[in-house]
């Protein structure tokens, strides 16, 4: 008996959101999407029962823009387990270790069930160290609830159950949006989190707010100093003025929108309907920017492992294993951030203060900073290209799957025989190359935006994701509206 036969009774019985049996009207899809979005914001505002909020600090705040969720809430883990589960499944599927044929309906059910089971397991494995490792989520010394008094261990168990329930809930919220709404839940949650941070970065009534900071500067409540030969220029560009952050934010918007419009259009004509023509667009960012979530999530998991090892060493700053200190692995400061070693060099660049050593904000030597920048660039560019390839192959966007879709729709490429293998060879001229170039370009843009900073500290990756997902969501809404007005289009594209 193979693993598929042994696991089938479990995987086929995994709870799932039922797919609609017929076409869902556009307004109903919009209502489902809006409802899930409201529920998401509601859950992010429910604080974990038993957490000591005053002593709690989000050690992974830099990744919050891509992992969504909210620190100290029911959605503490955000979409992290979903993304991690997707990474594992893509790696296993890419290496063909599962032996599953996604074209086979039975194997599709097994693949989806296995992915869902893996996400649930990853939710538990992520929540366990957060609660029980110490320092990540400090708990209240005692808790009274309904006449019962909970000790620290019981409070931790209660917090674990809350975080686990929130992680499972966000999994099924994503599934509801994917099947009954517009777009994907993961993209929707990222847009929600980044937009919230971006708006707060502009209008917050504090020195972190862009407009309020400039009000203080213009009224003289923040002294700029000498712009020539002084700290005034730094204050305006990278300090409270945030001019560089504003320019970076605007440029990222413009570059992503432009890159989404750059495409190679392959002409198509209908084999039976004379005069029916179309084009298949191969965009520059063909795999979208969603593979960046996988790259950043991998970095987040590496940093999470470092934080766990650091917590286990007690008061010492150097990571120790089996009683032996390992400074090459990682040395941490009082705030729990790596300052040298493997975990420092593999920590992403979040802001200008992480690499501008000449400003005095960086304590590391210049060569250490440059190594970290080089590692981050290499990791993002190569990782972006690799995960873009995995994403295209596992989401049926590759040359073979695309050729089959064109064949099934009754379309063909003018001047070529109506044959799947012929269309596939034409697609192989464009899709693999564009996928690699687009993935590497997005990785480069993400690091560049992080190095210069953005409004609201949403990170370059978060801003890239938000802009690209919003653009794609706009296209999907336009497509849904078109199909709503012209029902025959649904039959042509297999949406009925």
Residue 318 within a domain: no
SS3 47: strand
Whether residue 20 has pLDDT greater than 70: yes
Render pLDDT for 357-385 as a digit per residue (tens, 0 to 9).
877 778 888 899 999 999 999 999 999 99
CATH code for the domain in which residue 458 is found:
1.10.3370.10
Residue 441 within a domain: yes
Over residues 86-105, the mean pLDDT reads: 74
| Most confident of the following: 154-163, 200-209, 304-313, 322-331 | 154-163
Residue 82 within a domain: yes
SS3 55: helix
**Which two tokens mark 251?**
């440029």
User: Do 257 and 171 reside in the same domain of the chain?
Assistant: no
Which DSSP category does 358 fall into?
A: G
Q: What percent of the chain has pLDDT over 90?
A: 18
| Most confident of the following: 1-5, 186-190, 223-227 | 186-190
Q: Which residue has the higher pLDDT, 314 or 347?
A: 347
Calpha distance 162→75 (Å, rounded): 9
Instruction: Pick the last residue of a domain from 182, 207, 227.
Output: 182
Render pLDDT for 236-260 as a digit per residue (tens, 0 to 9).
777 777 888 889 889 988 888 888 8
Least confident of 4-8, 223-227, 247-251, 398-402: 223-227
pTM for the whole structure: 0.80
User: Do 174 and 208 reside in the same domain of the chain?
Assistant: no
- Structural domain span for residue 140: 25-182
User: Do 257 and 110 reside in the same domain of the chain?
Assistant: no
Q: Which residue has the tokens 């996928």?
A: 435
User: Do 382 and 249 reside in the same domain of the chain?
Assistant: yes
Instruction: Pick the last residue of a domain from 123, 147, 182.
Output: 182
Q: Which residue has the tokens 């420092």?
A: 344
Q: Which residue has the higher pLDDT, 81 or 415?
A: 81
Burial 298-328 (b: 16+ CB within 10 A, else e): bbbbbbbebbbbbbebeeebbbbeeeeebee
User: Do 214 and 164 reside in the same domain of the chain?
Assistant: no
**Banded pLDDT at 108 (limits 50, 70, 90):** confident
| Most confident of the following: 56-60, 269-273, 391-395 | 391-395
Least confident of 33-42, 191-200, 373-382: 191-200
pLDDT of residue 368: 92
| Most confident of the following: 4-13, 61-70, 435-444, 465-474 | 435-444
Over residues 442-463, the mean pLDDT reads: 85
User: Do 61 and 171 reside in the same domain of the chain?
Assistant: yes
**Which two tokens mark 413?**
């490429």
Calpha distance 12→9 (Å, rounded): 6
Residue 163 within a domain: yes
User: Do 253 and 138 reside in the same domain of the chain?
Assistant: no
pLDDT of residue 344: 92
| Most confident of the following: 319-328, 371-380, 405-414 | 371-380
Per this entry, what is the length of the chain?
Answer: 496
Residue 157 within a domain: yes
**Banded pLDDT at 205 (limits 50, 70, 90):** confident
**Banded pLDDT at 486 (limits 50, 70, 90):** low
Q: Report DSSP letters for 58-117, one per residue.
A: -TTGGGHHHH-S-TTBTTSSTTHHHHHHHHHHHHHHHTT-S---TTSHHHHHHHHHHHHH
pLDDT of residue 180: 92
**Banded pLDDT at 95 (limits 50, 70, 90):** low
Instruction: Pick the last residue of a domain from 119, 148, 182.
Output: 182
Render pLDDT for 138-164 as a digit per residue (tens, 0 to 9).
888 777 777 788 888 888 899 999 999
Residue 19 within a domain: no
pLDDT of residue 490: 54
| Most confident of the following: 133-142, 259-268, 403-412 | 259-268
pLDDT of residue 74: 92
User: Do 165 and 229 reside in the same domain of the chain?
Assistant: no
CA distances from 248 to 119, 458, 475 (A): 35, 12, 25
**Phi, psi (deg, nearest 5) at residue 392:** -65, -40
pLDDT of residue 9: 85
**Banded pLDDT at 166 (limits 50, 70, 90):** very high
User: Do 158 and 222 reside in the same domain of the chain?
Assistant: no
Residue 7 within a domain: no
Per the DSSP assignment, residues forming a β-bridge with 266 are 280
User: Do 285 and 209 reside in the same domain of the chain?
Assistant: yes
User: Do 29 and 121 reside in the same domain of the chain?
Assistant: yes
User: Do 121 and 205 reside in the same domain of the chain?
Assistant: no
Over residues 451-456, the mean pLDDT reads: 86
Number of structural domains (the chain) is 2
Handedness of CA 354, 135, 168, 148 (dihedral sign): negative
Nearest to 118 by CA among 87, 85, 165, 164: 85
Whether residue 35 has pLDDT greater than 90: yes
Residue 337 within a domain: no
Contacts of residue 265, Cβ cutoff 8 Å, sequence gap at least 6: 279, 280, 281, 282
pLDDT of residue 228: 55
Contacts of residue 93, Cβ cutoff 8 Å, sequence gap at least 6: 100, 102, 111, 390, 393, 394
Burial 403-417 (b: 16+ CB within 10 A, else e): bbbbbebebbbeeee
């Amino acid at each position: 008996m193979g693993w598929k036969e042994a696991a089938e009774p479990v995987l086929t019985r995994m709870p799932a959101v039922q797919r609609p049996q017929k076409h869902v009207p556009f307004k109903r899809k919009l209502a489902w999407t809006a409802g899930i979005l409201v529920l998401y914001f509601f859950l992010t505002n429910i604080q974990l029962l038993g957490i000591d909020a005053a002593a709690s600090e989000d050690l992974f705040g830099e990744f919050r823009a891509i992992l969504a969720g909210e620190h100290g809430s029911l959605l503490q883990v955000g979409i992290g387990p979903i993304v991690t589960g997707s990474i594992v499944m893509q790696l296993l599927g890419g290496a063909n270790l599962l032996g599953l044929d996604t074209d086979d309906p039975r194997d599709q059910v097994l693949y989806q069930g296995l992915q869902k089971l893996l996400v649930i397991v990853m939710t538990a494995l992520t929540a366990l160290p957060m609660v029980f490792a110490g320092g990540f989520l400090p708990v209240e010394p005692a808790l009274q609830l309904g006449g019962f008094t909970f000790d620290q261990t019981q409070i931790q168990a209660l917090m674990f159950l809350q975080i686990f329930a929130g992680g499972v809930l966000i999994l099924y919220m994503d599934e509801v949006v994917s099947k009954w709404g517009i777009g994907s839940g993961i993209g929707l949650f990222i847009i929600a989190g980044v937009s919230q941070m971006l708006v707060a970065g502009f209008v917050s009534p504090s020195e972190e707010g862009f407009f309020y900071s400039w009000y203080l500067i213009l009224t003289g409540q923040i002294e700029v100093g000498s712009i020539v030969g002084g700290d005034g220029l730094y204050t305006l560009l990278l300090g409270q003025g945030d001019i560089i952050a504003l320019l970076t934010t605007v440029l990222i918007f413009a570059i992503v929108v432009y890159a989404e419009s750059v495409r190679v259009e392959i002409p198509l004509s209908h084999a039976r309907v004379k005069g029916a023509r179309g084009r298949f667009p191969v965009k520059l960012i063909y795999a979208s920017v969603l593979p960046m979530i996988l790259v950043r999530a991998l970095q987040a998991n590496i940093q999470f492992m470092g934080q766990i090892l650091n917590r286990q060493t007690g008061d010492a700053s150097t990571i120790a294993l089996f009683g032996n200190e390992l400074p090459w692995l990682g040395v941490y400061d009082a705030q729990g951030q790596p300052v040298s070693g493997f975990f420092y060099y593999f920590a992403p660049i979040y802001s200008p203060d992480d690499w501008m050593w000449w400003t005095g904000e960086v304590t590391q030597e210049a060569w250490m900073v440059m190594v970290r920048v080089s590692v981050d660039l290499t990791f993002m560019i190569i990782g972006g290209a690799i995960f873009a390839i995995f994403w295209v192959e596992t989401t049926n966007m590759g040359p073979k799957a695309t050729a089959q879709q064109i064949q099934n729709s009754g379309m063909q490429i003018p001047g070529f025989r109506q044959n799947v293998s012929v269309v596939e060879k034409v697609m192989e001229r464009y899709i693999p190359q564009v996928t690699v170039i687009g993935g590497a370009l997005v990785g480069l843009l993400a690091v560049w935006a992080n190095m210069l900073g953005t409004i609201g500290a949403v990170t370059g990756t978060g801003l890239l994701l938000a802009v690209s997902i919003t653009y794609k969501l706009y296209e999907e809404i336009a497509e849904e509206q078109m199909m709503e007005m012209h029902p025959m289009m649904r039959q042509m594209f297999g949406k009925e």
